[in-house]
Amino acid sequence: MPPAHRDTQAIKRCSTNLTKLGRAAIDPLLPFGASAVSAPSHHLPPLLPCSRHLTIRWITECRMDAEQKGKRQPMAKHDHPALLLPGLHRLTLLELHKLAVAPFPEGTRRHLLFDKLATWTAAVNSLNVRGTLWLDGSFLTQKPDPDDIDCVLWNPHWAQASAPTQAHRQMLQRLFDQPTARAIYGLDFYLELPQSDETFHREAYWRGVLGFAHDRITAKGFAELSL
């Protein structure tokens, strides 16, 4: 199938998904105080103070980036042995360090990536935002110098119902920006905010992406951190 045709189909699928989600997918991200917001109080105020049009475009781009990640064909990539057995493993930052950093005393890149991850999570927590982070990539293999840390943040929400300041919103938007997360924090970052009726399918998708090596046959493990 020609690449252009595949891109067109991907855009159509994203549009279809957004249509199915309807206002329920958009309302949690509308500016705080909007009458259309009907999410539980612990999800308010919204994480990103953007317009309806920008919100739709942002969700579409996130979905397309995620789908393209799953479609990549890294034919020449070599898979190093995984550090975790197949499945999801709930870890703390300290446990992650013992697993993926301490056993590699000469892995300066690993130490740097871990420090950047710790800085990023501390910054998110300092804004009273909570969520669940799935981690994967070459950082969780025996590769001596991994390029980055693959991560998917699930359902971030404000820990307090009171409205955050504009400065806090801007800081969070910067932390969740993909180019910024990669350039400053070494994260290949994806954000997931599924509705309850699509959570199973979105989790199944990412389990398929994170839970297998590049050959798409060899199962491997990935980590979960609570923010």
pLDDT 10s digits, 133-155: 999 999 999 999 999 999 999 99
Spans of the chain below 70 pLDDT:
1-76
Structure tokens at 220: 């491997």
Residue 98's domain spans which residues? 3-226
pLDDT of residue 72: 54
Per DSSP, 144 falls in state: S
Q: Determine the Cα–Cα distance for residues 23 and 27; give it in Å rounded to an integer.
A: 6
pLDDT of residue 170: 95
pLDDT of residue 28: 37
Share of the chain above pLDDT 70, in %: 67
CA 140, 123, 159, 169 torsion-angle sign:
negative
Q: Determine the Cα–Cα distance for residues 212 and 178; give it in Å rounded to an integer.
A: 23
Total structural domains in the chain? 1
pTM of the entire structure?
0.69
Q: Determine the Cα–Cα distance for residues 52 and 21; give it in Å rounded to an integer.
A: 14
